[in-house]
Chains A and B, each alone.
Chain A
């Protein structure tokens, strides 16, 4: 009696058992296993996708993929044209948005102020932007909830983020102006003592709190307020073709030595390590939830195989009496379990990568702080696929072994 013969017999029995089993039961087993696989992968993928969605949101609507900043001891980016000329030659480059961040005090309703009453004011961040470049880099104009965005040449116009404007959920984000509407005048007090009056031309509202926290004027206006002869920028945001291949892109700056004169920051560095921690947390949560699903799946397979084997206990006993080895019988059940799970993970993978992920990409899930996507890296899916196959293998092996190792006579006599 050879191992090969036992495997041949196991395969022979398994193939025929699958082929001639009740198709509805087979379909149900495969359906359950497919759900288990999707639960194992998609729940984790959804949790990771929450963060991924937030990252995509940050890159697409606020930060870009690469952020160029001055060196630590410098206030402004020196010779911005040098690095921008270089940037425009790089493969994958799409657009850039130069900005000038500063603190200001904004006041509203000061014209209607009554004696003894407080003027609605807020101290916060104001950002100088180039409207046309910003439209190509972060699409600020597309995020206007009311009114319009700035246009090139605007000098007395201001756009307020929704939090500054007191719209939407401002809890936890500090003070906000009260009763401001598009068309109202507000006053900005700059650090150099200048005061300017602006007309609110629009409000920005996005899921990216940093955008909602700021007010926006044109870079030309900042240049004028501070009397700069040349534009001064505190940060330049670069949009590239593949935001997640950012390391390759920043490597060009390092190779050319630009990292000595500028701070070149990737989006993931700008977001900070907290995101990595959240990612790890989400991954762990996904694994816990998926692990519970996996246990349910393992028990399901165990019960299915066990019931199947118990119902054929007598046949197993008689096969053993006729010289069929326990190993061959166990193999037949294990192969059936593995067959079901291979079909299930194949359907699961096709469903996931062929339908679910593209569908959620096109129709992101609307979470309060991000548009959630289904983020399932291939290696993440493959690891879980292997885990499911291994679990199925043992879930088939253990009950089949328990039945097949039973005393042959007891199995035949059903006692």
Chain B
């Protein structure tokens, strides 16, 4: 029985621009167990974000296999991939990307409505989750009325409000100062303690050390895969 919640086998990703082919991932084998907090690190251009986009079904690999809970994700139709992204995966991006016309609560509500929640239920859940991350007083604020750290917390809540099985975070602290970064990482850490599987791309070794495992990529291949000193949460 497969015990990995996400797994890639010989994952290859090339980008083509005219006749120029840029090879980014060169057959990456990557595995994450349920409840793990894995940091993907590496220098710029090493392929860490590209790996995350393939595993998160945002992009299609050139070759190789991806499994989520043992299910093949490469050979499924687009609508199934969309459905899996909605119900099983969550994404946090570097610059939060909250919809500017929506309040904090409404930004969180959108994926919930898409998942079939009624407007009232979605709002209650959004307010509940935002309250848990210290934004209970800010639920009706527009993104422009929130600090960067607050916006990133809303972005994390948006990603996890539908209880995804895996949370992908692509450099979630890159746009934040160190104080705000610590707040967001603490939030991710708390989520992981409650059993949330997290795959986080980061440049900062200090932040990477908050994960249980650091996978180091260089030139599209895994150079190292090591446990950190952090005690596993599960």
Q: Which residues of A contact B (CB under 8 A)?
A: 1-2, 5-6, 8-9, 12-13, 16-17, 19-21, 312, 314-315, 318-325, 328, 407-409, 412
Contact = CB atoms under 8 A, between A and B. Distances in A.
Nearest to A408: B58
Contacts of A16: 101-102, 106
A19 B100 CA distance: 12
A321 B56 contact: yes
A323 B114 contact: yes
Given A20-B142, A21-B101, A321 B58 contact: yes
A318 B91 contact: yes
B86 A1 contact: yes
Which of A20, A321, A325, A408 lies at the interface centre, i.e. has the most chain B CB atoms within 10 A of its CB?
Answer: A321
Interface stretch (B38-46, B77-85, B171-179, B207-215): B77-85
B200 to A, nearest CB: 16
Given A20-B101, A409-B58, 7 more contacts: A9-B113, A16-B106, A319-B99, A321-B91, A322-B91, A323-B86, A323-B115
B97 A8 contact: no
Which of A6, A323, A324 lies at the interface centre, i.e. has the most chain B CB atoms within 10 A of its CB?
Answer: A323
Given A16-B102, A20-B101, A315-B97, A323 B87 contact: yes
A321 B85 contact: yes
B53 A409 contact: yes
Contact of A322 (B83, B85, B106): B85
Interface in B34-91: 53, 56, 58-59, 79, 82-83, 85-87, 89-91
Interface string B111-150: 1011110010000000000000000000000100000000
B201 interface: no
B99 A13 contact: yes
A8 B99 contact: no
B97 A9 contact: no
Nearest to A312: B99
17 contacts: A1-B83, A5-B113, A6-B114, A13-B99, A314-B97, A315-B98, A315-B99, A318-B97, A320-B82, A323-B87, A323-B89, A323-B162, A324-B111, A325-B82, A325-B114, A408-B58, A408-B59
Which 9 pairs between the two chains have the least Cβ-Cβ distance? A323-B86, A318-B97, A20-B101, A323-B85, A409-B59, A321-B91, A9-B113, A322-B111, A17-B101
Which of B53, B87, B93, B114 lies at the interface centre, i.e. has the most chain A CB atoms within 10 A of its CB?
Answer: B114
Nearest to A18: B101
B114 A328 contact: yes
Contact of A5 (B56, B97, B116): B116
Contacts of B56: 321
Contacts of B110: 9, 12-13, 319, 322, 324
Contacts of B85: 321-323
B159 interface: yes
B109 interface: yes
B97 A323 contact: no
B119 A12 contact: yes
B153 interface: no
B113 A8 contact: yes
A407 B87 CA distance: 20
B165 interface: no
Contacts of B159: 322
B113 to A, nearest CB: 5
Contacts of B79: 1
Contacts of A328: 114
A24 to B, nearest CB: 16
Contacts of A318: 91, 93, 97
Contact of B83 (A20, A312, A321, A323): A323
A322 B86 contact: yes
A6 B142 CA distance: 23
Contacts of B111: 322-324
A324 B107 CA distance: 12
A324 B102 contact: no
Contacts of B113: 5, 8-9, 12
A409 B79 CA distance: 16
B62 to A, nearest CB: 13
A409 B24 CA distance: 15
Interface string B143-185: 0000000000000001100100000000000000000000000
A311 B114 CA distance: 23
A338 to B, nearest CB: 18
A312 B99 CA distance: 8
A8 B110 CA distance: 9
A305 B91 CA distance: 27
A18 to B, nearest CB: 9
B90 to A, nearest CB: 7
